[in-house]
Chain A
Amino acid sequence: MLHNIIDPAILFFVFGVLAGAVRSNLEVPPAIAKFFSLYLLMALGLKGGASLAAGGLSMQALLALGAALFMAALVPALAFLTLHRRINPYDAAAVAATYGSVSAVTFIAAQQYLTQQGLSFGGHMTVAMVLMESPAIVMAVLLASWVRSRDAARPAAGAGEEPLPALSIRRVLHEAFTDGAHLLLIAALLIGWVTGERGAAMMQPFTIDIFKGVLAFFLLEMGLLVARQLRDSQARLSRDLVAFGLLAPMFNAALALALAYALGMGRGDAVLLAVLSASASYIVVPAIVRYAIPEARAGVYFTMSLGMTFPFNILLGIPLYVAVSGWFWP
């Protein structure tokens, strides 16, 4: 765990949180912050694609991708079942979508940690990450539509109020798959795969040499944002939601590790599957959910994923999942 804390990128995240907490006027210009997030996705995709080209799609890789799709369906279902009787069901659907999807930055931080620990992993796990982005969104929209039609059927529904027509799955999928960040990641993955080792060598100064520095800067910005969200967000999270935000990542990671062990996946791949299952989206999914489930409160699902689960995974979760995996893998 100490190895993770003394990583410069993680320390810049901690510094960002502290600077935000003391209300420093330190700020990363928004356009630069957005460039950093696009750069990280591009570098991740290129490296993953090149690694996939080198390793190919073995049976082990296909098993890992199958496990990823399974977790992408299981996690939002469990989240909704856990929450929909405790909180507003639209918020429950939105939280399910957020936690059913993934955080690319958490994934990147996990890869860095695994590399420092000398644990290898396959390039196909970047494909797994891409596969896990979207199923939760579709599930959440279906769940929200079910809640809407249930509410409309109730006699207590407001007189004269027109219920919002269910958003078509086609429209939601269009929004999800044409999202800029998502498209860039897929394109970079394909380009990395097509150009292989030669392309990786050409792009090395961009994807390898400056990667750590950009990650540190981006985590600094994320630290500032986490501090501001926790301090200034008007959303008041209930005890149920706070408990969920802290416990769900560990529970989902445990499920993923158990599944990976049962499938005979390698330790590095298992940890990455656990990290993906434990993470929550704060870039792509909240943007789509705000459009697809307008009844949900962004202050709830965004604050939970960014203010609670992201820092938990970055600081404690990743080393914890690696440590636990060491009990079962040599």
Chain B
Amino acid sequence: MRAIERKKLLTLIAPRELQRLLLDTLQRRGIGGYTVVPASGAGASGLQSGMLDADSNVVIYIILSEPRLLAVYEDIDRLMRAGYRVKAFSHDIDILPRKPRGPEGGT
């Protein structure tokens, strides 16, 4: 079995209109892999029923290393200070990598 790796799972919850902005932000950090899931919900900025584009949310999952996570958190923090409604949180995860590590420890 390939060796399990320790990574971070970053979860972003945001209005659907901000999806492109967030993905551009991730891309600037060299992150090209992510999963987007449509969502609905409610919060301080109102009800997001998911019935119209203007009131739908998305959940974006990204698996990344801790140094990259901290850099992304800085970017998200800047967006939040500007007033954008984004929730960002992370978990430690154990993941079976796509490429097993070689004997030299490379990815």
Residues of A within 8 A of B (CB): 28, 30, 33-34, 37, 90, 161-162, 164, 181, 221, 224-225, 228-229, 232-235, 282-284, 286-288, 290-291, 294-295, 297-299, 302-303
For this complex, 29 residue pairs linking A to B, each with C-beta atoms less than 8 Å apart, are A30-B50, A30-B56, A34-B52, A34-B53, A161-B81, A221-B51, A225-B49, A228-B49, A229-B46, A229-B47, A233-B42, A233-B47, A234-B43, A234-B46, A282-B54, A284-B54, A287-B16, A290-B15, A291-B18, A294-B82, A297-B46, A298-B15, A298-B46, A298-B55, A299-B46, A299-B47, A302-B46, A302-B54, A302-B55
Q: Is B47 a contact of A232 with CB atoms below 8 Å?
A: yes
Q: What A residues does B105 contact at CB under 8 A?
A: none
State which residues 2-46 of B face A: CB under 8 Å: 15-18, 21, 38, 40, 42-46
Q: Is A283 a contact of B46 with CB atoms below 8 Å?
A: no
Q: What A residues does B49 contact at CB under 8 A?
A: 225, 228-229
Q: Contacts A28-B51, A299-B46 known; A294 to B81 CB distance under 8 Å?
A: no
Residues of B within 8 A of A (CB): 15-18, 21, 38, 40, 42-47, 49-56, 78, 81-85
Q: Which 4 pairs from chain A and chain B are nearest by CB?
A: A299-B46, A294-B83, A164-B82, A286-B54
Complex CA gap A302/B51 in Å reads: 13
Q: What A residues does B43 contact at CB under 8 A?
A: 234
Q: Is B55 a contact of A234 with CB atoms below 8 Å?
A: no
Interface residues of A, dominant DSSP: helix
Complex CA gap A229/B83 in Å reads: 22
Interface residues of B, dominant DSSP: mixed
Complex CA gap A161/B77 in Å reads: 12
Q: Contacts A233-B46, A299-B46 known; A283 to B17 CB distance under 8 Å?
A: no
Q: Contacts A161-B81, A299-B46 known; A225 to B17 CB distance under 8 Å?
A: no
- In addition to A33-B51, A224-B51, A232-B42, 13 A-B residue pairs with Cβ atoms within 8 Å of each other are A34-B52, A225-B51, A228-B49, A233-B46, A283-B53, A286-B55, A287-B17, A287-B53, A290-B18, A291-B18, A298-B15, A299-B45, A302-B55
Complex CA gap A38/B65 in Å reads: 41
Q: What B residues does A181 contact at CB under 8 A?
A: 53
Other-chain residue from B15, B18, B42, B52 in contact with A33 (beta carbon distance below 8 A): B52
